[in-house]
């Protein structure tokens, strides 16, 4: 999977930061078949973590029950306009990438 699958918005307000993330990912379970009847290999985001200033503020483990293009929202204490969040995801295939998003 290529970089750039995450779309994130983060907004600091009143000492907290609200983060909304959408992952553009098929989240294949390994149970579906293609038009030829061949099984489509499992390929889904297994873990996603978000760090602020080197400290993890959110971490999730995903599985086959998560829908295509998953959406996550959470709030953490801290964060300031202009700071960056670092988002790291890993697929079941072993592919991994890190992306960043600025807090507005």
46-62 tens-digit pLDDT: 999 999 999 999 999 99
Show the CA angle centred on residue 4, arms to residues 18 and 15, nearest 5°.
Answer: 15
Q: What pLDDT score does 23 carry?
A: 95
| 62: nearest Cα among 53, 74, 71, 52 | 71
Tokens 């989240």 map to which residue? 27
Spans of the chain, pLDDT less than 50: 1-2
Domains in the chain, start-ordered, CATH in brackets?
A: 6-30+40-102 (2.60.40.10)
- The span from the CA of 50 to the CA of 79, in Å, is 13
Q: What pLDDT score does 4 carry?
A: 73
| 53: nearest Cα among 90, 17, 2 | 17
- The span from the CA of 25 to the CA of 21, in Å, is 12
pTM value?
0.88
- The span from the CA of 35 to the CA of 40, in Å, is 10
């Amino acid at each position: 999977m290529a970089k750039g699958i995450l779309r994130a918005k983060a907004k600091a307000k009143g000492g907290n930061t609200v983060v909304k993330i959408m992952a553009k990912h098929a989240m294949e379970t390994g149970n579906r078949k293609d038009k030829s009847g061949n099984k489509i290999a499992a390929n889904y985001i297994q873990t996603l973590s978000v760090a602020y200033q080197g400290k993890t503020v959110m971490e999730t483990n995903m599985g086959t029950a998560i829908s295509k293009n998953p959406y996550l929202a959470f709030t953490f204490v801290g964060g300031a306009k202009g700071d960056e969040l670092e988002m790291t995801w890993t697929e079941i295939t072993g592919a991994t990438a890190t992306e960043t998003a600025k807090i507005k």
